[in-house]
Structure formats: structure tokens, C-alpha cells
């Protein structure tokens, strides 16, 4: 407990935007967030009072974070599991615990566990050789196959579409541990996000649609438009069951593929997640507050929506041509590798224009420079008319990114 | 501009709860809030990254705050006007400027200016002697008279009900500069809060009812129940006119008395104000974000409500017997001088109970210890049914303060 306030100190490994937004929530709750930052100019380190500079792979740094904290939790999944087990053995509270977190760190462990639990997953197999991939593809009638690094991938990294099984040789030769999965016939992507406390209370937000571009989430729509109540409940129940079975404490985001035959689990994240940034304005309790309440074993907050539709759009070097409202959202090719911010207008100037154009849109900037492919902020719009809400979110992002309004064809 | 983010640095004089909540808003906007704290354990200093320790009456400390800040603004009004004029003369941007802020610092200056502008004010007079008070009372047919210190009063301090004019002799002898006012026949108190940018854009929130106990605001109801549209518009137009006439930049809170004959101005505040804390969850744009947008001359944000009714209740050593919903709200006697927090339950434990009882109520704690008469936090409830919303806000405050639910008679 903080000596001055008598309220909890929470230690967070990592000081990116998730820690930054968690800090905002911690302030309201009277708590003190202590962050472990790799760089003193990390997004959260720029705004938090209690910053330790150190690496998440350094056990001594993790111990320093844990000492005096009621609980250690995470902005990312890149902490070595053995270090977390060491902290637990030393009596520190770590949520989510290492035996839960491993399912968000290792795709093979996750797939094995989900298969054992009978949770819906794509057909998959571990890979030790090119022959494994050949056999896997043949057994599936040569349907498209995806190779995934079991560790370290995110935002589309660590994922390869396999047109020729020999492609994996290079990856295996480089020592990349792999699994293969059948590429599912994708209708769209969804996310079911819940939070769970050590006591076992679980709270679920409405299931959302997540729109990806080049493997990066660019837009989240809450609730997922046109999702049947039956499928929404199925997704929520799945997330709640996984949270309990894996003994997750904190936020659990279950990324889902919706296929013509139903939902299958893509990935798990055990921390505040991009697919629930909309909850800051769009839900009675934000995922950041809920994560803090969960890891501290407070009763959880109400998760109702504050408007019929809430749309979050990521600000990144890549959102030039968002899918048109009304068009079927799906993964689309990205142009963000070619992105250059407008040379004649600073981000601050672009913010002026955005505010003038969209006085009702809320902005969240992460303290990072705008670079190709990098998430540097997001915006949230709310309202009754989904097309209008999406249009406002996209207009706002376009202004921030390009310094001009989108052309008509891009917004209507 | 911050060298890392390219976005503004805002210097705020004072590091109390207003600065603490402004910091939360600054984080979202990508800004850096630098606070001038008297004590390194002030509420905002506990959670902000950029803290200068120094006194607001020390010009050198103010200069240090101003250097490298795009703008200097305020958590309170206690900065000597001459210091602010010095900063302006040295080229620093100060919003609100000293010539505006003086109207929130000196009640006589405020009353003179408002009278000159024809704004509705109680009958008042400057006081140099007991005879002035006698003459003032006689001219009003001996209606009740209030003496007010022209400077330094807040939360009921610096205000004296005068039953015998000789009472003021002691105050005058002590060197307290005074004015007297006729005590108006109070129906209730209201507040009209607006924000204004240097460009001259003004945004107004709905007029609210502020419920006081012993001169301290304990509850704010947005929008003010039963207020006619005509009177609401009159109050908003008055606030907008005063913001423009006084050249206010930032948030202006106009505290109003509603009397049987109409509204009169009680006081002015030129900073985020307790009467608009409800805007954090209850309005599309919070007063803290709006204040930052205003002092940086960004276009202002939308001020619509997020629910039909929003109720904010202050957590202070004194809110034991809030007025019952349905009863006519008015100033009531307080018991907070006798308040003792429950000895067998910590604030953290009380917070557990409150969260369990009221999962939809939002809490804001200021990093202060709970002491008699001190504002240490607030809660906000929202919904369609005003009685239910008030009841939930009061139950939450009661749990936090007393560590038990209110008795039936206290909540229904």
C-alpha cells in the first residue's frame, strides 16, 4: 500500500500505451501505478510519477518492480516465464500468473490447451520438419495453410501464408519454432473481451468486430454489427470459460475468426487489448479500470455500453483507405509501409483541424512519433447511426494522419 | 512543445485534485502537464511525471514553471496578480490572464465589474467601517446581511452571517477587506459552466444544480431538475457574456443563486470547478479536457450529456445525512466537523464494499487522507431515473465514508 494514500501500488511490466492508459485509470481509483520502462521516453514513462527503467528480461529489474507493489501485471507478454515463476516463488503476487500467461506467450501451448478443452480452433499441427507441413496440407485436401511462430509474433508479424511447404525450411533452419494451421474461410474477425478476478468474478463486454489491415487492427466496432444474439453469447461464454479454465486474472481478450460454420479462436491476450480501447468512452467501465480492479480483487465494474454504437479507429502510419462503411469489412492490403506524415503540417496542427472537424470524437495519443506501421494513438466515436459513427472515426483519423479531410469516396 | 512528442507542455500552478484530473485529460491529448506543487505529496504530484516543487507566491518558481510551457494555467486562484503580470510582461502566455483572473480572486472587483456590466448580483456594498454595514442594512429594510472577505474565501470560509453590524468590527480590526451583501431568498444554487478559447469560441455545459451543506458543495445534479428552458438559457447566456466581457480563457464557472425573482451571480471561478466534475463521465468532453483545449486555443469539444441525468457526490468528512431524493435541495447544516472514519475498516476495504454495492458508479480519489471537512474524492452516477441516480451516488459515498450502507431513511 502507498504510505500516503493507503491504497494499492500496482507494478506494470512495460510502459507502452497500455500502461499509459492504465495509469489514467489508476489515478481515478486513487492508486499508484509503477511502470517498468525499457526507455525513460516510453509512452507511460512520459506521464507516470513512478517509473523504473529496466528490461523485462532482467529478473533483478522485475524484483525491483515487485517489491512494494501489491501485484505485478503486464503491458505486454514478453517476460520470460521462468522469471515470473521466480517472482511467485519469492512470494510476490503476479496476475495473470505464469501458468495462465503462457497461453498468451506460446501459440503451441495455447493450441494444445484449447484443443484439450474442446474449444473451437482451426485445424493445426506442431511442426518439426517440412514433411510435417506436407502431411498437414495433404490431410486438409490442400486447403491454404498458415505457418505461425509460436512465440513473439504480433500485429501480423510471425505469420506466413504457405504456398509451398519448402518455405518453412528457411524458418526452421533459422530456429523459429512453428505451428501450422489451416487458413479458415474468414467472414470477419471478432473479439470477446472479459475480465476475471482471483475470487472468480467475471465481467464481459459486448462482442466486437475487429477490422484488420495487413494483420494490424485498424478499427473496432462495438457491438459487432449483425451478430446474432446466439453467436454473441456463444463467444462470451467461450471467453468466460477460457478465463476460468486457464485461471486468468485481469483482462482476457479472445480474438476470434468468424467463419461460415461458426467461430474459432485465433489468439489470446491477457492484458488490456486494442480490441477494447473503445471501452474508455464506450463502456461504463473501461478495460483499464477493469484490469486494475481484477488484479487487485476488487468487485468488477458494470460493462454496459454508453451509446448504441461505439467505433474505435487506430491512428497508425497506414490507415489511408479504410474500408467504406457498408462494405463487408475484411482484411485488406495495407499501404502503411509507404506512409509519410505531411511535411507542411505538424501533428499539433493536424489535431487542431481534427478537433474543428469532429468536436464529438475523442482522441488518445500515446506520446510516440508517427512512423510507418506504428500505432501512435486512437480515436473513439459514439452514436446511434453506425455508418455515421464509423465515418466520424475515420474522418478524425484521416485528419490526424494526413492533415486533410478524406475524399468523398473514402468516407461515404 | 515537448521535444519527444511535438505536442504542448502545459504548466499548472497548484497540484491538487484539479491538476490531478487535468493530468488524466492531458495524457489522452498527448500533452505533458507540468505542475507546480507546494508539497511533493500533493494529489497531482503523486501521479504526474513533471513536478516542480515550489510555492505559488514565489515568482522564481512561477518563472520556472512557465519556461518551456506553452501556457501557464491554474488549479487555484491564490497566485498574486503582480506575479502573473510579471510573467505576461516577460512574454509568457498565462490563461486566464491576470486581468480576467482578478475577478475570481477579489470579490469586490468582481461585484464592481458585474454591476457595471448590468449582470444580476445581490445588492452589495464595499465596507470600510461598521457604519457602512449599518447604513447598508438599513437601506435594505434590515433584511439579512452577509459579510464576505474580498479575498481568500472558499468552501464557506470567509463568509459571515451578520446579525449585529458590530460583528464586522473584529474583522475590520484584523485587517480583513470586506464587502457586504444582502442575503438573497434562496430557492437553490445553480452553476453555469462554460469554456472559452483565446480565439473566442465558447462551449457551454447544461446548467446544473449544486447542493451545498455548510457552504461546501456536496452534490451536483446535471441538468438542474425542473429548470425552465428559458432560465437555463438565461444562465448560459450570462456565463457566455461574462466569459467574453472579462476575457476569460479556460473554464469559467458562474455560481448562481436561484431566487423567486430570478438568478443572481454568487461567485466566479476560472479553472476546472467542482460543479463540473460530473462532466468526466457525464459529458462528451470533460471540463478538464476542455480547459486544456481552451488554454491551448484548440477548437473546443462537444458538451452533450452521455445520459439523461448525471449526479456527482463529493466524498468528504461530512456527507452523513444527504438530503433525501424528492426533498427540496437546499443548504443544510453539516456534521462533518464531527466526522471520524470508521476505525475498523480501511478506505481500501470500504472501496471493495462500495464497488460490490454499486458496480455502475464511477469513483475518483484524490490521493488525500479522509479528514473532517476535506474533499478527498467524488463519485458519479448516471441514468434515466433521477431519484435512482441520486440514490446510487449517495449510497456509494456513504459506503466510502462510513463503511456501511446508509439506513433506509437516508436513501429513499
Q: Is B188-411 in CATH node 3.30.470.20?
A: yes
| Nearest residue, CB atoms, A4 vs list B46, B285, B363 | B46
What is the Cα–Cα distance from A325 to A329, expressed in whole angstroms? 8
What is the Cα–Cα distance from A407 to A272, expressed in whole angstroms? 34
Residues contacting residue B89 through CB under 8 Å, at least 6 positions apart: none
Q: How many CB pairs under 8 A join A and B?
A: 144
Interface contact flag, B360 A5, Cβ < 8 Å: no
Q: What pLDDT is attached to residue A201?
A: 98
| Nearest residue, CB atoms, A355 vs list B4, B20, B298 | B298
Q: Do domains B123-182 and B188-411 have the same CATH topology?
A: no
Specify the length of chain A in residues.
412
What is the Cα–Cα distance from A364 to A400, expressed in whole angstroms? 11
Is-cis flag, bond preceding A96, omega within 30? yes
For chain B, percent of residues with pLDDT exceeding 90: 77
Find the closest chain B residue to A366 by CA distance: B30
Distance between alpha carbon B107 and the CA centroid of its chain, in Å? 15
Chosen for mutation from B18, B47, B360 (greatest number of chain A CBs closer than 10 Å) is B47
What is the Cα–Cα distance from B233 to B263, expressed in whole angstroms? 12
ipTM for this model: 0.92
Q: Which residues on chain A are in Cβ contact (under 8 Å) with B304?
A: 360
Average pLDDT, chain A: 91
| Contact yes or no for A266/A257 (Cβ under 8 A) | yes
Q: Which residue has the cell 459506503?
A: B399
What is the Cα–Cα distance from B100 to B94, expressed in whole angstroms? 10
What is the Cα–Cα distance from B313 to B203, expressed in whole angstroms? 24
pLDDT in tens, B224-269: 999 999 999 999 999 999 999 999 999 999 999 999 999 999 999 9
Chosen for mutation from B2, B27, B293, B303 (greatest number of chain A CBs closer than 10 Å) is B27
What is the Cα–Cα distance from B326 to B240, expressed in whole angstroms? 31
Of B32 and A335, the structure prediction assigns the larger pLDDT to: B32
**Strand positions, DSSP E, B173-280:** 178-182, 188-196, 202-204, 208-213, 216-222, 250-259, 262-269
Domain ranges of chain A: 9-94, 123-182, 188-411
Level-2 CATH architecture, domain B123-182: 2-Layer Sandwich (3.30)
pLDDT bin (cut points 50, 70, 90) of residue A217 is: confident
pLDDT in tens, B65-101: 999 999 999 999 999 999 999 999 999 999 999 999 9
Task: Please report which helix (H) or strand (E) contains residue A181, including its range.
Answer: strand A178-182
Interface contact flag, B298 A365, Cβ < 8 Å: no
Is the pLDDT at A245 greater than 50, yes or no? yes
Q: Is A9-94 in CATH node 3.40.50.150?
A: no
Task: Please report which helix (H) or strand (E) contains residue B395, including its range.
Answer: helix B386-402
- If you ran DSSP here, which 8-state letter would residue A305 be given? B
State in Å, rounded, how far the first CA of chain B is from the last one: 52
Interface contact flag, A362 B299, Cβ < 8 Å: no
Report the 10 Å Cβ neighbour count for A164: 11
Window from A176-180, B285-289, B362-366 with minimum mean pLDDT: A176-180
Task: Find the radius of gyration of the CA atoms of chain B.
Answer: 21
What is the Cα–Cα distance from B367 to B377, expressed in whole angstroms? 8
pLDDT in tens, B300-318: 999 999 999 999 999 986 4
What is the Cα–Cα distance from B85 to A242, expressed in whole angstroms? 62
Is the pLDDT at A349 greater than 90, yes or no? yes
Cα angle vertex A328, ends A325, A331, to 5°? 105
What is the Cα–Cα distance from B283 to B251, expressed in whole angstroms? 15
| Nearest residue, CB atoms, A24 vs list B28, B346, B356 | B28
Q: Which residues on chain B are in Cβ contact (under 8 Å) with A34?
A: none
Window from A187-196, B110-119, B131-140, B300-309 with minimum mean pLDDT: B131-140
Interface contact flag, A363 B29, Cβ < 8 Å: yes
Amino acid at each position: 500500500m502507498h504510505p500516503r494514500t493507503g491504497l494499492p501500488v500496482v507494478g506494470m511490466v512495460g510502459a507502452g500505451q497500455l500502461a499509459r492508459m492504465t495509469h489514467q485509470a489508476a489515478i481515478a481509483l486513487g492508486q499508484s501505478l509503477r511502470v517498468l520502462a525499457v526507455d525513460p521516453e516510453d509512452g507511460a514513462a512520459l506521464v507516470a510519477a513512478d517509473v523504473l527503467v529496466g528490461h523485462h528480461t532482467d529478473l533483478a529489474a522485475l524484483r525491483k518492480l515487485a517489491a512494494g507493489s501489491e501485484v505485478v501485471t503486464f503491458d505486454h507478454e514478453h517476460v520470460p516465464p521462468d522469471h515470473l515463476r521466480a517472482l511467485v516463488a519469492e512470494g510476490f503476487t503476479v496476475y495473470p500468473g505464469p501458468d495462465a500467461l503462457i497461453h498468451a506467450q506460446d501459440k503451441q501451448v495455447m493450441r494444445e490447451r484449447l484443443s484439450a478443452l474442446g474449444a473451437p480452433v482451426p485445424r493445426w499441427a506442431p511442426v518439426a520438419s517440412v514433411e510435417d507441413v506436407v502431411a498437414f496440407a495433404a490431410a486438409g485436401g490442400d486447403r491454404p495453410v498458415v505457418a505461425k511462430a509460436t512465440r513473439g509474433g504480433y500485429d501480423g508479424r510471425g505469420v506466413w501464408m504457405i504456398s509451398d511447404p519448402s518455405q518453412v525450411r528457411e524458418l526452421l533452419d533459422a530456429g523459429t519454432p512453428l505451428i501450422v494451421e489451416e487458413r479458415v474461410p474468414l467472414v470477419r474477425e471478432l473479439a470477446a473481451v472479459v475480465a476475471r478476478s482471483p475470487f472468480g468474478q467475471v465481467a464481459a463486454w459486448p462482442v466486437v468486430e475487429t477490422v484488420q489491415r495487413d494483420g494490424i487492427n485498424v478499427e473496432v466496432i462495438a457491438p459487432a454489427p449483425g451478430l446474432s444474439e446466439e453467436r454473441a453469447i456463444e463467444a462470451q461464454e467461450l471467453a468466460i470459460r477460457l478465463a476460468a479454465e486457464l485461471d486468468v486474472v485481469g483482462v482476457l481478450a479472445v480474438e476470434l475468426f468468424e467463419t461460415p460454420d461458426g467461430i474459432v479462436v485465433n489468439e489470446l491476450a491477457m492484458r488490456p487489448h486494442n480490441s477494447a480501447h473503445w471501452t474508455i468512452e464506450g463502456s461504463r467501465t473501461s478495460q483499464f479500470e477493469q484490469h486494475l480492479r481484477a488484479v487487485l480483487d476488487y468487485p468488477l465494474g458494470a460493462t454496459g455500453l454508453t451509446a448504441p454504437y461505439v467505433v474505435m479507429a487506430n491512428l497508425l502510419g497506414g490507415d489511408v483507405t479504410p474500408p467504406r462503411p457498408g462494405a463487408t469489412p475484411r482484411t485488406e492490403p495495407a499501404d502503411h509501409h509507404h506512409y509519410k506524415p505531411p511535411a507542411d503540417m505538424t501533428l499539433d496542427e493536424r489535431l487542431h483541424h481534427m478537433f474543428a472537424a469532429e468536436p464529438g470524437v475523442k482522441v488518445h495519443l500515446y506520446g510516440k512519433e508517427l512512423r510507418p506501421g506504428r500505432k501512435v494513438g486512437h480515436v473513439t466515436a459514439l452514436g446511434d447511426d453506425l455508418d455515421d459513427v464509423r465515418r466520424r472515426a475515420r474522418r478524425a483519423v484521416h485528419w490526424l494522419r494526413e492533415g486533410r479531410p478524406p475524399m468523398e469516396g473514402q468516407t461515404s
